[in-house]
Amino acid sequence: MLGNLTDKTLNKKFKDVFLDFAVPIYQLIFFCTANNTEDIELFLLSRLTPVTIKPYNYQERLEIAHDLITYNFHSYKIADLIPKFSEKLIKKCLTREWGIRGLKDNIERIAYKAFLWKRRKKLPADWDTANWAIIDKEEVDAGDPQRNRPACPYSEDRTAQHRKGCECFKPELIEGWAENMTA
């Protein structure tokens, strides 16, 4: 399908199965997304211009965290407690992942606990050290049999070296991570 769409010799009068008229697709710009360009056939890749989307940097993760805190605390009607959520606590919520799923889970967990503890009048004095049951996740490349990719040795043994080109989380590729997370 993408092969036909991007074929210069065919695309003046392209007819889609669902649209019963010719579309001059040479006048269109296509945006395609893929997790792994290595899985794209080379003839097709040569017709595309790859653009790598960088993972969120530390500052962006912080901003996302603030938005998530605002949203969740308002949902539980505990917006008065938002100032209690320090950057130190946000750092604890940041997971070693390319994305922000773990961060989102951790903030949701804290908002829910804060809501319960407030109702029971059991809010902690020190939020930074309270027992929120924050989950510290690390994204590792466990391989993918469907793509014929082996697991990274590091995924089974944290003292092992990474396999070249593995997809494990690499803090050094996140701008601002090392400076802020180890300080």
Q: Which residues bind Zn ion (CB under 5 A)?
A: 141, 152, 154, 162, 166, 168
Q: Which residue, 91 or 162, is less far from Zn ion as judged by CB?
A: 162
What are φ and ψ of residue 128, in 5° steps?
-65, -30
Residue with tokens 């590729």: 173
Minimum distance, C-beta of residue 147 to Zn ion, in the bound complex (Å): 15
Q: Which residue, 114 or 166, is less far from Zn ion as judged by CB?
A: 166
Question: Cβ distance 42 to 33 under 8 Å?
Answer: no
Minimum distance, C-beta of residue 97 to Zn ion, in the bound complex (Å): 13
Q: Which residue, 97 or 141, is less far from Zn ion as judged by CB?
A: 141
What are φ and ψ of residue 67, in 5° steps?
-65, -45
Question: Cβ distance 2 to 32 under 8 Å?
Answer: yes
Minimum distance, C-beta of residue 98 to Zn ion, in the bound complex (Å): 12
Query: How far lies 64's CA from each of 2, 95, 101, in Å?
Result: 35, 13, 11
Round to whole Å and give the CA distance between 166 and 156: 13
Minimum distance, C-beta of residue 83 to Zn ion, in the bound complex (Å): 39
Q: Which residue, 25 or 166, is less far from Zn ion as judged by CB?
A: 166
